């Protein structure tokens, strides 16, 4: 059988080769059902609880460095492991000697019922491998994708601090091992009439989408994975962007941040926040590290969920999308990209190739806020973003966009028009809050009622005004946690 149809990855130092496999079989299913590795658990099958967390290592773009990331195995398709190393909780101990992460969890009593423990250990292991001296905020963020119903997290955080005090665990030469399993061409799997393609460059990706315009384009799988695990959809043709290095880069030019659509949120977000620090809160609360390690900014934009967190910020920044169909590229403002609920401007066979974000201009204040039932790892009730320019106390320019209030994420155009040119005062904000009711007709669902959503957005605008007065981010509280 052709090498192009063989998935190859590393597990515990062994090269695993898999042929004739369902292309949408998840990594979790493979571990538990095929290998009988029961340490990795299934809690939610949608990337929320973290019980299924594993760690993957892969060669960086330079071909020699290695990146190590925690991911949710419950929504990752098995073929996406090709060319990578997979680590589970069973991979960590050396004979009878526990890994420092495991020892710290034992000594600090970080496990009670134990169901969530393997996932916590793997998130801590990823932190151990990538950050030699994390602070409390970094520990909290690393664990934000893991839910526990027993311990209250205190002993787990204590274990995170203790794991560095033990004798360091041996680190294998991953780079050499990974280089040996890299393929020269594309991956192409066919099973029971269904196909999975992993092209190696943008030209091949464009050609495949032209040949299969109805194919499912797979980036991080953080949404597509749920189509399979929750909706039980059978995807006939899947085209994976994860090996297209041209679409995974993040560059900064003299005028803009240029982000490839396949760049993960983990890679793209720090660059955005470096230039727009006011977006830190929203992006820090954007899903969890395992989701951000797999999910892409391009996927979030193309998916176009009305409760997507990134689009409001991109709209107030006047971001431009570069779309490609075959060999033809075109540009479109993100404000013009969405037409209706889950309907956008993409034509059959066309895909988002790049996202261009203008660099900051002098005097512009940019912020984004997320309102949800819990601080970490929660879907927004609403998400807002603002860009404000003041001139001698008057509003020279104002943009505001909201997610969660309409069939698509969109700008508050009537509110914007009512604010520009007037003094930036408390009275102006109160009149703007009334105007928001003309821009949006919110819906009620399990996350919030329509009235609560509108009130939340109005209060977030009031909060933004308070921040412009004080120059600092206003302290808020979410179930006892201060931010």
Cβ partners under 8 Å of residue 405, min gap 6: 382, 440, 441, 442, 453, 454, 457
DSSP state of 68: E
Question: Would you state the structure tokens that stand for residue 71, as one six-digit string?
Answer: 């991911």
Sign of the torsion angle spanned by Cα atoms 309, 313, 318, 320: negative
Cα separations (Å) of 15 from 6, 10, 179?
12, 5, 12
> Across 318-457, where does the E strand assignment appear?
320-325, 328-333, 338-340, 343-344, 351-358, 364-371, 382-391, 394-403, 410-411
> Any idea what the Cα angle at residue 80 is, between residues 354 and 19, rounded to 5°?
140
Question: Would you state the structure tokens that stand for residue 50, as one six-digit string?
Answer: 């973290």
Output the tens digit of pLDDT for each of the chain's 483 residues.
358 999 999 999 999 999 999 999 999 999 999 999 999 999 999 999 999 999 999 999 888 899 999 999 999 999 999 999 999 999 999 888 999 999 999 999 999 899 999 999 999 999 999 999 999 999 999 999 999 988 779 999 999 999 999 888 778 889 999 999 999 899 999 999 999 999 999 999 999 999 999 999 999 999 999 999 999 999 999 999 999 999 999 999 999 999 999 999 999 999 999 999 999 988 888 889 999 999 999 999 999 888 888 999 999 999 999 999 999 999 999 999 999 988 999 999 999 999 999 999 878 999 999 988 777 777 788 999 999 999 999 999 999 999 988 889 999 999 999 999 999 999 999 999 999 999 998 888 888 898 999 999 999 999 999 999 865 554 443 333 444
3-90+174-240: which CATH architecture? Roll (3.10)
| Distance in angstroms (rounded) separating the CA atoms of residues 388 and 325 | 36
Question: Would you state the structure tokens that stand for residue 47, as one six-digit string?
Answer: 């990337």
Find out if CATH 3.30.43.10 is the number for domain 253-358: no
Q: Start-end ranges of CATH 3.30.390.50 in the chain?
A: 364-482
| pLDDT score recorded for residue 479 | 35
Number of Cβ within 10 Å of residue 97's Cβ equals: 12
Q: Start-end ranges of CATH 3.10.20.30 in the chain?
A: 3-90+174-240
| Distance in angstroms (rounded) separating the CA atoms of residues 423 and 164 | 54
Question: Would you state the structure tokens that stand for residue 184, as one six-digit string?
Answer: 């020269």
| Distance in angstroms (rounded) separating the CA atoms of residues 388 and 466 | 13
Would you call 192 exposed, middle or buried from its count of C-beta atoms within 10 A (0-12, 13-18, 19+)? exposed
Q: Start-end ranges of CATH 3.30.465.10 in the chain?
A: 253-358
DSSP state of 475: P
Of 464, 358, 343, the closest CA to residue 401 belongs to 464
CATH: 3.20.20.70, 3.40.50.620, 3.40.50.1360, 3.30.390.50. Which one for 364-482? Answer: 3.30.390.50
| pLDDT score recorded for residue 475 | 45
Half-sphere exposure of 464 (CA within 13 A, CB side): 30
Q: Describe the crossing of helices 450-470 and 426-439 by its angle, rounded to 10 degrees.
A: 150
Collapse the DSSP code of 22 into the 3-class scheme (helix H, G, I; strand E, B; otherwise coil) and give the result: coil
DSSP state of 341: T
93-162: which CATH architecture? Orthogonal Bundle (1.10)
Would you call 473 exposed, middle or buried from its count of C-beta atoms within 10 A (0-12, 13-18, 19+)? middle
| Distance in angstroms (rounded) separating the CA atoms of residues 228 and 24 | 7
Are 394 and 468 spatial neighbours (Cβ–Cβ below 8 Å)?
no
Are 237 and 215 spatial neighbours (Cβ–Cβ below 8 Å)?
yes
- Tell which phi-psi region holds residue 373, choosing left (phi > 0), alpha (psi between -120 and 50) or beta: alpha
Are 57 and 85 spatial neighbours (Cβ–Cβ below 8 Å)?
yes
Are 141 and 284 spatial neighbours (Cβ–Cβ below 8 Å)?
yes
Question: Would you state the structure tokens that stand for residue 416, as one six-digit string?
Answer: 């914007």
* Distance between start and end Cα atoms, the chain: 56
Cβ partners under 8 Å of residue 426, min gap 6: 465
Q: Start-end ranges of CATH 1.10.150.120 in the chain?
A: 93-162
Are 382 and 445 spatial neighbours (Cβ–Cβ below 8 Å)?
no
């Amino acid at each position: 059988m052709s090498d192009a149809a063989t998935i190859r990855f590393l597990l515990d130092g062994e090269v695993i080769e898999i042929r004739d496999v369902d292309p949408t079989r998840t990594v979790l299913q493979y571990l538990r059902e095929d290998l009988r590795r029961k340490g990795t658990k299934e809690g939610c099958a949608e990337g929320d609880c973290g019980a299924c967390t594993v760690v993957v290592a892969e060669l960086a773009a330079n071909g020699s460095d290695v990146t190590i990331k925690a991911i949710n195995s419950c929504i990752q398709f098995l073929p996406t492991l090709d060319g990578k190393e997979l680590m589970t909780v069973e991979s960590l101990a050396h004979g009878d000697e526990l890994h420092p992460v495991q020892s710290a969890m034992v000594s600090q009593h970080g496990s009670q019922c134990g169901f969530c423990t393997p996932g916590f250990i793997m998130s801590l292991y990823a932190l151990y491998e990538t950050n030699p001296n994390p602070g409390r905020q970094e520990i909290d963020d690393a664990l934000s994708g893991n839910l526990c119903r027993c311990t209250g997290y205190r002993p787990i955080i204590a274990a995170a601090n203790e794991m560095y005090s033990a004798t360091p665990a041996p680190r294998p030469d991953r780079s050499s091992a990974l280089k040996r399993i890299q393929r020269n061409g594309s991956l192409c799997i066919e099973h029971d009439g269904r196909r999975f393609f992993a092209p190696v460059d943008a030209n091949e990706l464009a050609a495949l989408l032209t040949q299969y315009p109805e194919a499912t384009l797979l980036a991080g799988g953080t949404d597509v994975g749920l189509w399979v695990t929750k909706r039980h959809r059978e995807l006939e043709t899947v085209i994976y962007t994860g090996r297209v290095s041209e679409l995974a880069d993040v560059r900064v030019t003299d005028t803009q941040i240029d982000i490839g659509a396949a760049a993960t949120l983990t890679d793209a977000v720090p660059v955005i926040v470096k230039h727009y620090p006011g977006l830190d809160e929203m992006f820090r609360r954007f899903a969890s590290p395992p989701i951000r390690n797999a999910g892409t900014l391009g996927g979030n934009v193309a998916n176009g969920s009305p409760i997507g967190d990134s689009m409001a910020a991109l709209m107030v920044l006047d971001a431009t999308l570069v779309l490609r169909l075959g060999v033809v590229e075109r540009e479109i403002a993100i404000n013009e990209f969405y037409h209706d609920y889950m309907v956008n401007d993409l034509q059959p066979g066309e895909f988002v190739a790049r996202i261009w974000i203008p660099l900051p201009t002098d005097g512009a204040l940019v912020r984004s806020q997320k309102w949800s039932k819990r601080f970490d790892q929660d879907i927004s009730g609403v998400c807002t973003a603002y860009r404000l320019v003041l001139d001698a106390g008057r509003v020279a320019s104002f943009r505001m966009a909201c997610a969660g209030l309409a069939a698509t994420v969109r700008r508050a155009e009537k509110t914007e028009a009512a604010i520009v040119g007037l003094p930036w005062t408390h009275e102006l904000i109160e009149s703007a809050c009334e105007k928001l009711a003309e821009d949006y007709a919110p819906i009620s669902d399990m996350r919030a009622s329509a009235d609560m959503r509108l009130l939340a957005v109005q209060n977030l605008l009031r909060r933004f005004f308070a921040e412009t007065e004080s120059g600092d981010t206003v302290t808020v509280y979410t179930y006892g946690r201060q931010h």
